[in-house]
Structure 1
Amino acid sequence: MTRMQTTVFILVAVVALVLGLTVNKVLTNSGRADPAILLDAGIVLLPQSRALPSLSLINQDGQAVAVDQLKGKWSFLFFGYTFCPDICPTTLAQLRELKTLLPEEARNNLQIIFVSVDPNRDTPAQIKQYLSYFDPGFQGLTGDEATLQKFANGVSIPFIPADTSKENYTVDHSGNLVILGPDGRQQGFIRAPLNNQKLKEHLSGLLSVQE
């Protein structure tokens, strides 16, 4: 190897090292330093963020909300329904607990949004009353079935519409949460069942990132 080649080799190595350290610092500061550790906590981040479909739903106060305008804070979306006998009340109770476990900065930068998959029974008033049992700060969304299906499919949390002709029907749905960044784009998922002890350790860094 000539002297010139040696010099070039050293420069390339130094540049690679600097880039590596820079990338590692960025990932560390954004809470994404070790995907394996995040995965162990149930946090799955997408390689690239994903835009939400352009559609409008109704919140718990009867007001129209454009889902692609859910910005300003990190958001956890949970698709469920108020007549759910098990997964929904358990998950909402866990989310209430998780908020108390997070540092104040992370807690203030997070909003929990409940999306109904049972528009037949879940009126805005019903959703508002239901969420008040867990945390009056939780937000709710509903709409017609076609719009809800489009939204759910757009964030990869599909559900199976219920046979509403049956009394006390149930709705098949996922227990996973959708993670939205402050930019309103989908950043990933939190897999069910939730492990609050692990989540509190790894969400603080993520929720402090302003994207």
Structure 2
Amino acid sequence: MSRTHLTVFILVGLVALVLGLTVNKVLNSKGQGDPTQLLDAGIVLLPQSRTLPDLELLDQDGQPVVTSQYRDKWTLMFFGYTFCPDICPATLAQLRQLRTQLPEAARDNLRIVMVSVDPHRDTPEQLKKYLAYFDAGYLGLTGEETTLQKLANAVSIPYIPADTSKENYTVDHSGNLVILGPDGTQRGFIRAPVNTEKLAAQLPGLLQRP
């Protein structure tokens, strides 16, 4: 190998090394950790955080809630309904299990919120009774159909409103979870189905980020 070729080879290697270190620094500075492990756990982080619209809903106690008030903690937001026959009870039970697997610090820095996609039947009282069956700390949101749809569309979890004239109707909706950061912005998703073991390993690192 000539001196010129050797110099070029060394320069190419140095450039690759610098680029690799730069990419690694950017990923770590965004709190993404190991992207491969995060994706394997079903965690998909957005390239840029997404601001939620300022919408007013009702919580499980019938109190007005503005979506922008979910700050200071990380939030996992699930869109479902209390008469759901399968996805919702399974997901809420898995989230209950996940919380028991998290370290105390991570558990204290995480809230679970279920947004109803069935406001016709999901009154605040119904939500409170249903969620308490899984975990007394779960929060619920309901409200006008148009407001709920605005929120769902804003976080890319659209659903199909049901024909409420039919008896025992069901609602088509996604099982994905929305990840909100402590600044109230959407940071990403957790893809369904929930894998509690893998999430328990990856979430603590994410939940300690600002």
**TM-score (normalizing by structure 1):** 0.88
The reply on whether 1:47 has 2:51 as its aligned counterpart is no
Report the identity percentage.
69
Give the drift of 1:40. 1.1
Partner of 1:206: 206
Partner SS state of residue 65, structure 1? strand
Which string of whole-angstrom CA distances, capped at 9 and with x for unpartnered residues, describes residues 60-91 of structure 1? Answer: 01111110221010000000000001000000
- Give the aligned length: 199
CA distance in structure 2 between the partners assigned to 1:30 and 1:94 by the alignment: 27
Give the drift of 1:138. 0.3
What RMSD, in angstroms, separates the aligned Cα atoms of the two structures? 2.0
| Preserved contact between residue 152 and residue 158 of structure 1 (Cα < 8 Å) | yes
Matches within 5 A, 1:154-165: 154-165=154-165
**TM-score (normalizing by structure 2):** 0.88
Partner of 1:57: 57
Give the drift of 1:24. 3.0
Gaps of 5+ in 1: 1-5
Partner of 1:120: 120
Partner of 2:96: 96
Gaps of 5+ in 2: 1-6
CA distance in structure 1 between the partners assigned to 2:22 and 2:107 by the alignment: 28
| Preserved contact between residue 31 and residue 202 of structure 1 (Cα < 8 Å) | no
Partner SS state of residue 93, structure 1? helix
CA distance in structure 1 between the partners assigned to 2:208 and 2:51 by the alignment: 21
| Preserved contact between residue 33 and residue 205 of structure 2 (Cα < 8 Å) | no
Partner of 2:194: 194
Residue identity matched to 2:201: E
Partner of 2:176: 176
CA distance in structure 2 between the partners assigned to 1:202 and 1:74 by the alignment: 14
CA distance in structure 2 between the partners assigned to 1:25 and 1:163 by the alignment: 50
Task: Report the CA distance shift for 1:88/1:180 in structure 2 as closer, same or farther (over 3 A).
Answer: same
Give the drift of 1:33. 2.5
| Preserved contact between residue 114 and residue 140 of structure 1 (Cα < 8 Å) | yes
Which string of whole-angstrom CA distances, capped at 9 and with x for unpartnered residues, describes residues 16-69 of structure 1? Answer: 84x864763564476512222211110000000000012111100111111022
CA distance in structure 2 between the partners assigned to 1:25 and 1:208 by the alignment: 17
Which string of whole-angstrom CA distances, capped at 9 and with x for unpartnered residues, describes residues 159-192 of structure 1? Answer: 0000000000000000000000000000000000
CA distance in structure 2 between the partners assigned to 1:114 and 1:100 by the alignment: 18
